[in-house]
Amino acid sequence: MTALTNDHDLHDHDDHHHHEAEAADRYMFGFWLYIISDCLLFATLFATYAVMGQNFDNQITPNELFDLGFVAVETALLLLSSFTFGMAMLGANVENMAKMKFWLIITALLGLSFLGMEIYEFVHFSHEGATPQTSGYWTSFYSLVATHGLHVTAGLIWMSLLFVHFNRDGFTNENKIRLACLSLFWHFLDIIWICVFSFVYLRGAM
């Protein structure tokens, strides 16, 4: 604390931006630590999936159900949405509200389409006889993939709340930090999806 105060006295009072940037960095680092703990949550789910990988209990197996073309479209939607969020961030950096909103809406639509496809897939799998109760394998499959889906849902809700914030207050410091945190969260979800399509779908379809 003393170090901080000294720092404040030594440097100037006019450099307001410097302090705002430092505060933003601190918030971002805090959120980054949350992302790390979320990584560990997914690590345990992937570990469970790997351990349960062959426990089919003579029931339906993934290679009978997985449709890689379908998964490829899901992957494309999520990857594109990660890119369009980047475009929204570029809009936010120059405080261009129209540009930011345009790309954020595209991102939300891509995210919604992804979620719709995932729900459709779960319903389809259940009809084919693969429910979370079917076998150890399917329990771990649904736990892992649905946890990712719930994160995407949370991201979409967060995105709509940010719209309200930006409409009300514009480009305030708080709103910019919120948007940067959501951006980190959204890119993180795409990185988790890389592991899901590689180790669950591609490996499971072989």
Total chain residues near other proteins (CB under 8 A)? 56
Binding mask 82-111 for other proteins (x = CB under 8 A): xx-xxx-xx--x------------------
Report the residue from 13, 29, 98, 164 that binds other proteins according to the rule CB under 8 A: 29
Tokens of 155: 């991201």
Is residue 40 near other proteins by the rule CB under 8 A? yes
Provide the 10 A C-beta neighbour count for residue 7: 11
Report the residue from 39, 97, 157, 161 that binds other proteins according to the rule CB under 8 A: 39
Is residue 190 near other proteins by the rule CB under 8 A? yes
Provide the 10 A C-beta neighbour count for residue 35: 15
Q: Which long-range contacts (CB under 8 A, 24 or more apart) does 36-44 make?
A: 38/151, 38/188, 39/188, 41/147, 42/144, 42/147, 42/148, 42/192, 42/195
Q: How far is the CB of 195 from other proteins (least distance, A)?
A: 6
What one-character-per-residue DSSP string does 48-85 give?
A: HHHHHTT--TTS--HHHH--HHHHHHHHHHHHHHHHHH
The residues binding other proteins (CB under 8 A) are 18, 21-22, 24-25, 28-29, 31-33, 35-36, 39-40, 43-44, 46-48, 50-51, 68-69, 72, 75-76, 79-80, 82-83, 85-87, 89-90, 93, 176-177, 180-185, 187, 190-191, 194-195, 197-199, 202-203, 205-206
